[in-house]
Structure 1
Amino acid sequence: MTLFKSAPKSLCVLRLSAIGDVCNTIAVVQSIQQQWPETQITWVTGKIEAQLLKSISGIEVIVFDKSRGWKAYTHLWKQLKGQRFDALLHMQYAIRASVATLGIKARYKLGFDNVRSQDFQTFFTNVKVPSPDSMHVLDGLRAFASELGVQNTSPVWNLQYLKSDLDWANNYLQAKKRNLVIVPAASKDYKNWTVSGYAKVVEHAYRNGWNILLAGSPAKNEVELAERLEDALSIPVTNLVGKSSLLQLLALLDKTDLVIAPDTGPTHMANAMNTPVIGLYAHHNPERTGPYQFREYVVSVYAEAIQKETNCSLDELSWRSRVKDKDAMQQIAADDVIAMFDKITQDFNLTNVKN
């Protein structure tokens, strides 16, 4: 039994962070828009994530700036004063997101069921969305749209950017070579792969005629890792880490031929743009958090690492079990990433130089 037989007048989406999860949520929101284009959608999100939401149309974006502390909540509730939504999609179980719902009026407040809910989210919702059999984050989010009454929740992304963003990207992409964008770092250092591993992959790609670019945010750890990688190489790469806006980065990931990255936002941005991506995973199960359309091209040591750490097989563990060893990413072998590079370039016919 679904909540709506016809288009609801208004919906509120609550997904504050992070970039990868926002990318997955975009696919759900756009499936709702596809069926009910007349429905007014308001999305409450974080300050950085709001930059990415400029890439989609037909929604009102309200920024929740967590750095403001309690004032972030009072500012949010003041902006929504007088509004009552047909449904609130509480798509983030963090306690700070749940507190935000206290000032959002809605007939239905949808949240995860007991299988996926954490941090007491169930106390803040009156509709528990049944968890699908698939463990992937996106499939859990798609279930919200199904609960509303959306018939086709197959993920399709339609993200746009300005011509100026494209022009910026084209300044660095080479028209007559294949282009590889490497995002070396995630926001959390333990998710990062090794400089020596990246260097071997870069050298392999360069020998095969590829143009290599480094990309990422201006966060100190990302800039420093890219600089260490540059120093370790004797071949030229273009280092753009910290030098792009989020939509410039989106354009770059859209127009490049291939992306290699750890478990980080740009991995999912590439996925959303249908750009082949090799995800590097050790701490989280890529069947849950990997790039949705390219999970078969993930290089993962998660299964080995979690078994070593717990003495349990995957079947015996919770689907959200995380590897705690901060050195787990070092177990990824450069030869395995190179082999996956060769496989994905063949599968997507990227072995030949562009005409």
Structure 2
Amino acid sequence: MSLFTSPPSHLCVLRLSAIGDVCHTISVVQAIQNHWPQTKITWITGKIEAQLIGDLPNINVIVFDKSQGLKGMKAVWKQLKGTKFDVLLHMQAALRSSVLSLGIQAKYKVGFSKNRTREGQWWFTNRHLPNTTAMHVLDNMAEFAKYIGVPFSHPTWNIPLPNESVDYAKGITQGRKCVVISAAASKDSRNWLVERYAAIADYASSLGLHVILCGSPAEREKQLAHKIESLCEQPVTNVVGETSLKQLTAVLREATVVISPDSGPAHLATTQMTPVIGLYAHSDPRRTGPYNDFDNVVSVYQQHVEEQKGQSVESLTWGTRAKGDNLMAAITIEQVQEKLDKALKNLS
């Protein structure tokens, strides 16, 4: 039975980070809005993530600055003083988020199921999702909507893009067919090899595609892009560190196809319905892969994790990662070329 049989007056969403998970959450929140348009929604999120969701229609966004620690939490609590929600959707199973939730007044505080929760979230919530066999992170997020009484079948997104961001993207792509390479994952060990990124960039150029490198302003990402660019025989456009989140989203929307390891831009591209070729070795792409493009994934996760754990991937605990600094080397240039050819053929 659903938690609500009629629309609640005001609900709160707690999802601070990261960009990919926030993309998943957007689809769930907008499903709630579509089903209950009269319900007020407040979303507590991080500073960077607020750049993406700050102008989502009819959502009150409150920013938590994690760099300020307890001071940042008190600032959020001050903004919420006197507000009592019908329900808090505690959609981030991290201790920092759980501590932050202590200052949020809500009749119901809903957390993940027992077989998906971690870091003690169970103790900070008074309602829990039923145990689930849902594999993908987005499908686990969708369980929150279903639990409170909102149907959810397949994700859709409506992320407003200002004209300035659209114009920027069109200025970069210039009407050309483009491959966007988002080379950096959250950890360097999850990046593909520099020389192979360069090789696939040159291969894309040989097919008549323009290549764009994208990424965050982090110094390690800028250095990675510079190394790739220096190895490319054909010209590429390097906008790593030069785009706002909305500009990046617009570039990904204009792209013909995106190549990326498990990263925020891969999931941003999914929100724009742009095909993504995902490169995976450490995490199960069935759990964290580009939601609309499982067929485009190049994965060596299964072979690595089964060798390390000595058991089949089907018998492993949800969220099990393969460990090692050189796992991505098992992904070959030929495998990615094949996926690129397939993706282009499907678009023709």
| TM-score over 0.5 (shorter chain) | yes
Residue of structure 1 equivalent to 2:179: 180
Deviation of the 1:154 alpha carbon: 2.4
Residue of structure 1 equivalent to 2:292: 293
Question: For the aligned residues, what is the CA RMSD?
Answer: 1.0
Residue of structure 1 equivalent to 2:257: 258
Residue of structure 1 equivalent to 2:129: 129
Deviation of the 1:218 alpha carbon: 0.6
Residue of structure 2 equivalent to 1:10: 10
Paired-residue identity, %: 48
Q: For 1:307 and 1:45, how far apart are their aligned partners in 2? A: 36
TM-score (norm 2): 0.98
Residue of structure 2 equivalent to 1:35: 35
Deviation of the 1:8 alpha carbon: 0.7
Deviation of the 1:55 alpha carbon: 5.0
Deviation of the 1:130 alpha carbon: 1.7
TM-score (norm 1): 0.96
Q: For 2:153 and 2:62, how far apart are their aligned partners in 1? A: 24
Deviation of the 1:255 alpha carbon: 1.2
Structure 2 counterparts to residues 329-340 of structure 1, below 5 A: 329-340=328-339
Q: For 1:193 and 1:126, how far apart are their aligned partners in 2? A: 42
Contact 1:260 1:277 in 2 (8 A): yes
Deviations 1:160-179 (A, max 9, x none): 1100001111111031x311
Residue of structure 1 equivalent to 2:118: 118
- 2:280 maps to a residue whose letter is Y
Residue of structure 2 equivalent to 1:189: 188
Q: For 1:19 and 1:136, how far apart are their aligned partners in 2? A: 16
Which of structure 1's runs of 4+ aligned residues deviate more than 4 A? none
Q: For 1:329 and 1:130, how far apart are their aligned partners in 2? A: 35
Deviation of the 1:85 alpha carbon: 0.3
Contact 2:258 2:274 in 1 (8 A): yes
The 3-state SS of whatever aligns with 1:43 is strand
Q: For 1:263 and 1:25, how far apart are their aligned partners in 2? A: 17
Residue of structure 2 equivalent to 1:308: 307
Contact 1:98 1:121 in 2 (8 A): yes
The 3-state SS of whatever aligns with 2:96 is helix
Residue of structure 1 equivalent to 2:204: 205
Contact 2:218 2:241 in 1 (8 A): yes
Residue of structure 1 equivalent to 2:78: 78
Deviation of the 1:41 alpha carbon: 0.4
Unaligned runs of 5+ in 2: none
Q: 1:153 to 1:30 in 2, by over 3 A?
A: farther
Deviations 1:209-233 (A, max 9, x none): 0011101101011100000001111
- 1:144 maps to a residue whose letter is F
Deviations 1:313-339 (A, max 9, x none): 102211210011121112111110010
Q: How many residues align?
A: 348
Deviation of the 1:311 alpha carbon: 1.8
Q: For 2:151 and 2:225, how far apart are their aligned partners in 1? A: 44
Deviation of the 1:132 alpha carbon: 3.2
Q: For 2:254 and 2:132, how far apart are their aligned partners in 1? A: 33
Q: 1:298 to 1:131 in 2, by over 3 A?
A: farther
Contact 2:199 2:232 in 1 (8 A): no
Contact 2:113 2:132 in 1 (8 A): no
Contact 1:47 1:64 in 2 (8 A): yes
Unaligned runs of 5+ in 1: 350-355
- 1:279 maps to a residue whose letter is G
Deviations 1:50-106 (A, max 9, x none): 101035211001011110011011111111110000000000110000001100010
- 1:300 maps to a residue whose letter is S
Q: For 1:252 and 1:130, how far apart are their aligned partners in 2? A: 39
Residue of structure 1 equivalent to 2:222: 223
Residue of structure 1 equivalent to 2:88: 88
Q: For 1:215 and 1:128, how far apart are their aligned partners in 2? A: 39
Deviations 1:97-129 (A, max 9, x none): 000110001011000111000011000111111
Q: For 1:26 and 1:275, how far apart are their aligned partners in 2? A: 17
